[in-house]
């Protein structure tokens, strides 16, 4: 049987552990959340956390999404997440879309995604028409 001091100590230790875990999670996920807010393409914190539960790399997806918005490429986060869930390389698609945007070449999101999912490099779709 536990004494009241031991029970109190156990409760305090459990509370401290919970606080440390919560702060650690907020530091990791909060940084991603803040980044999306700062670039003007906010993604809810709960959604960023859910990415990890889906087995996705939250950092890679949020970073690619933020980079796209910084470059002026409008791509919905739903598409980014969907492409990752389909097994695509989000970074490669976003880089191709940014390169196309900067070069003034029209490359649709659907085209870049289908090239990537078929195993081809979406950058190959950037050849200038003759």
pLDDT averaged per 10 residues, the chain (length 130): 82 95 89 92 93 94 95 94 95 95 90 92 71
> How much is the pLDDT for 126?
72
Phi, psi of 120, rounded to the nearest 5 degrees:
-95, 155
pLDDT confidence of residue 118: 93
With a threshold of 0.75, does the pTM exceed it? yes
> What is the Cβ-side half-sphere exposure of residue 8, based on CA atoms within 13 angstroms?
3
* pLDDT in the model for residue 72: 93
CB atoms inside a 10 Å sphere around CB 20 = 10
Specify the pLDDT at position 1: 59
Cβ burial of 64 (10 Å; 0-12, 13-18, 19+) is: buried
pLDDT at 83: 96
For residue 76, the tally of other CB atoms under 10 A from its CB is 11
């Amino acid at each position: 049987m536990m004494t009241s001091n031991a029970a109190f100590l156990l409760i305090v230790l459990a509370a401290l552990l919970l606080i440390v875990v919560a702060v650690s999670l907020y530091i990791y996920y909060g940084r991603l959340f803040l980044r999306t807010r700062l670039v003007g393409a906010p993604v809810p914190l709960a959604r960023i956390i859910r990415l990890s539960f889906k087995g996705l790399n939250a950092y890679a997806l949020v970073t690619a999404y933020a980079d796209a918005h910084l470059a002026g490429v409008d791509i919905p986060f739903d598409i980014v997440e969907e492409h990752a869930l389909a097994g695509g390389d989000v970074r490669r698609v976003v880089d191709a879309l940014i390169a196309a945007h900067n070069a003034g070449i029209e490359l649709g999101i659907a085209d870049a995604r289908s090239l990537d999912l078929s195993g081809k490099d979406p950058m190959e779709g950037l050849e200038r028409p003759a």
